[in-house]
Amino acid sequence: MLANFLIGLREGLEAALVVGILVAYLARLNRRELLPALWSGVAVAVGVSLAFGALLTFGPSGLGFEAQEALGGTLSILTVGLVTWMIFWMARTARHLKGDLQHELDGAVAVGRRAVLVVALMAVGREGLETALFLWSGAQATGRGSAAPLVGAALGLAVAVGLGWALYKGSIHLDLRKFFGWTGMFLVLIAAGVLAYGVHDLQEAGVLPGLGSLAFDVSRAVPPTSWYGTLLKGVFSFSPETTWLQAVVWVLYVVPVMTFFVRIAWARPRAGAPARPQPTAVTAA
């Protein structure tokens, strides 16, 4: 539940910031008559994301066990690739996200309402589809049939909406560089667990070998039904019985990805170089 709360919070805040920037810029341009088109794009993006999540949840139900495991494992690995790219994308572009969005909106305003709708749809839809896919993969890894992942994600999204509104109004100030830096590091660990679980699914489907070759079995020290076993599984998709292939894949993912992410997200300006502007909330003029 904690992992899904964090995913919902981070991804929801990204979407809320995008919407806040677009709304504030239209207000600054005195083009408030285009706000209905913008909100229509946001609504369509949310609807498409919900439909995508429902398809992922209920679509594979008619498949056999091996087919479900193969599909789940493949989607989990693809999700990790997408989320990894998005983590690095945000770390690199957060500093000039506002300028990029305003530039896109300038062109859309010149074209008309439909173009504004499309800009909002694409900007928010990207976050929504990524969130739906990551939450689905996380729910598969932490326990199928449980409502906890959905509750955690809903709470995270609700908090994100509240923070986004407060930032838009200027009620609070948040160091977004640190926020996305710390949450990005945590998401790397969550993604590593999803990746390892995806490998396990493919092993159960017979696509990958080594299902019976265990790197370690700590079931006695960390019983799956204990509170700490449940916590580790819920947050990091930790399995007390981990195969060698899972363990190797986890290490090969975490070490380089975490190293590169820390260097990018927490890099300091070089001596003599101009300081990088910090991303701040956008408020309507």
Q: What is the 3-state secondary structure (H, E, C) of 227-251?
A: HHHHHHHHHHCCCCEEEHHHHHHHH
Q: What predicted TM-score, i.e. pTM, was given to this entire model?
A: 0.75
User: What string of DSSP letters covers 37-98?
Assistant: HHHHHHHHHHHHHHHHHHHHHHGGGGS-HHHHHHHHHHHHHHHHHHHHHHHHHHHHHGGGHH
44-75 pLDDT per residue, tens: 999 998 898 888 877 777 778 888 888 888 98
Structure confidence at residue 268 (pLDDT): 65
Enclosing H/E stretch for 215: strand 214-217
Q: List the end-to-end C-alpha distance of the chain, in Å, as a whole number.
A: 38
Question: What is the residue-averaged pLDDT of the chain?
Answer: 82
115-174 pLDDT per residue, tens: 989 988 988 888 888 888 877 877 776 655 566 667 878 888 898 888 888 887 776 777
Structure confidence at residue 141 (pLDDT): 67
pLDDT at 278 over 50: no
As a whole number, mean pLDDT of residues 239-257 equals 94
Structure confidence at residue 248 (pLDDT): 95
For 131, half-sphere exposure in the C-beta direction (CA atoms, 13 angstrom radius) is 32
pLDDT at 41 over 90: yes
As a whole number, mean pLDDT of residues 221-248 equals 86
At residue 277 the predicted structure's pLDDT band, cuts being 50, 70 and 90, is very low
Burial class (CB in 10 A: 0-12, 13-18, 19+), 162: middle
For 68, half-sphere exposure in the C-beta direction (CA atoms, 13 angstrom radius) is 12
% of the chain with per-residue pLDDT over 70:
88
At residue 215 the predicted structure's pLDDT band, cuts being 50, 70 and 90, is very high
